[in-house]
Structure 1
């Protein structure tokens, strides 16, 4: 059996929490079980436990053992959501949901979107929008800017409401073209009024509120096909898969 370091064990357990395989209140494997599963000493297993506890991800519950802590102010990144979907087939863990699904076709005048999708100013794109929630509290506004060529094969993307299956999977099934993604890019800017409204941030009109923004670009063999923009509610911590 391959040997693992404590950081690798902690990372594996952390990913199980992010993917919903271990949910708040669930008991994580005991020290003995960790030793057997990963082929490590009790010292290594205990260091992994201490790491997760220091991150606020676990706590000791009398009579039960070490359990997963609630994470009311943490939010997965777009890459983490996608990795979870690919590994488990589930878009959300128990305390997560998405609401206010909207879709529209519109001309694009956003310079970032124009640059990432390699389109002309005012060229039409598909815009899909939804609000991600944890324990019914908005943690991010998700915007998907999709190149109009995707409409030929997946016309459903222009319809409001959640899709039965992730549209990129439908696209690959119908075209045989695989879609890959760029690393996430992070920046900060002032939120627009409609973003603050969607995130339910109570501020006076026209107040300047800085927000974290994550961008992920997706490609097929013909070039960029989608840009994700996640705008995060102030005060939430982001969880990635790294």
Structure 2
């Protein structure tokens, strides 16, 4: 008798062959059971396996869909900040991306590691700004970004808690207020996607998210911590490898000859 992995392989083959359209739900479990001649539970486990693998994604009662194939990668982040007429941006490949859905603002408690980066005590409240973005024609976001701002700064600059922060966004407002440039430091990591990220990014539990944690400073003052998450199979990090003084050319041994 076919195992769920056997059925998953057959479904994967049918998806690769273009049997079902990407923008329509695949057949339900009962139809899959009939098509592959297996028990309902076997068909169900096969679909769950492919959702976890990332080939499919579930939208609850709407059904299970084929995850569109992605160019490799959609966006390659490098180590530069750029600016255009709308303000600063960090991904040249995503320069024309815009908000998907309405942004959200609330006062809440940040994760412990974010509190440490902000220099606030664990349990202290901060301003939390959530934003989802994607290409101009996107029906769902490809990046989720959350900004955490210290409340003393928000008290001095209340616009940081507003739904609309004006041209250039919060970075322009902060630089105008403090009359100094922001500098940024980023750390890139990965972890399993949580339930919210799986739903918003339309990825299975088996796919990790790439997490870019950006610390914004004016001088020594941390003014924001931003955490951007994206499906790890659709993004890459690209940077120039610089020679340290210890790796200078010509090598020391050759210079002394």
Global fold match (TM > 0.5): yes
Counterpart of 2:105 in structure 1 is 103
Partner residue in 2 for 1:187: 189
Looking at structure 2, the residues matched to 240 and 151 of structure 1 have their Cα atoms a distance apart, in angstroms, of 34
Inter-CA distance 112–140: structure 2 relative to 1 (3 Å threshold): same
Moved more, 149-158 or 114-123: 149-158
CA contact (8 A) 2:108 2:127 kept: yes
| Equivalent of residue 212 in structure 2, options 204, 211, 214 | 214
Task: Report what 1:152 is aligned to.
Answer: 155
Structure 2 matches for 1:5-84, cutoff 5 A?
A: 73-75=73-75, 77=77, 83-84=81-82
Q: Distance in 2 between matches of 1:78 and 1:229?
A: 16
In structure 1, stretches of 5+ residues that fail to align are: 1-69
Offset from partner CA, 1:84-110 (integer Å, 9 cap, x none): 22688475634x2222311111123x1
Shift of 1:163: 4.1
**Preserved contact between residue 86 and residue 168 of structure 2 (Cα < 8 Å):** no
For 1:162 and 1:140, the matched residues in 2 are separated by 20
CA contact (8 A) 1:138 1:233 kept: no
Query: CA offsets, 1:133-178, max 9 Å, x none?
Result: 1351532111111111221332122123564332122122123243
Relative to 1, partners in 2 of residues 1:231 and 1:189: Cα closer, same or farther, differing over 3 Å?
same
Aligned residue among 164, 169, 180 for 2:167: 164
Inter-CA distance 78–130: structure 2 relative to 1 (3 Å threshold): farther
**How many residues were matched structurally?**
164
Partner of residue 227 from structure 2, selected from 229, 237, 242: 229
Change (3 A) 1:90 1:213: closer
For the pair shown, the structure with the greater C-alpha radius of gyration is 2
C-alpha contact (below 8 Å) 1:102/1:160 kept by paired residues: yes
SS at match of 1:85: strand
Say if 1:97 and 1:132, in contact at 8 Å, map to a contact too. Answer: yes
* Aligned alpha-carbon RMSD (Å): 3.0
CA distance in structure 1 between the partners assigned to 2:72 and 2:156 by the alignment: 39
Output the CA distance in 1 between the equivalents of 2:201 and 2:220: 35
Counterpart of 2:108 in 1: which secondary structure? strand
Match of residue 200 from structure 2: 198
* Residues 50-71 of structure 1: per-residue CA shift (max 9 Å, x gap): xxxxxxxxxxxxxxxxxxxx96
The question of whether the paired residues in 1 share the 8 Å contact of 2:87 and 2:168 is answered with no
TM-score (norm 1): 0.58
Please tell me whether the aligned partners of residues 72 and 235 of structure 2 are also in contact (alpha carbons under 8 angstroms).
Answer: no
What is the 5 A alignment of 1:100-139? Answer: 100=101, 101-108=103-110, 110-134=111-135, 135-136=137-138, 138-139=141-142
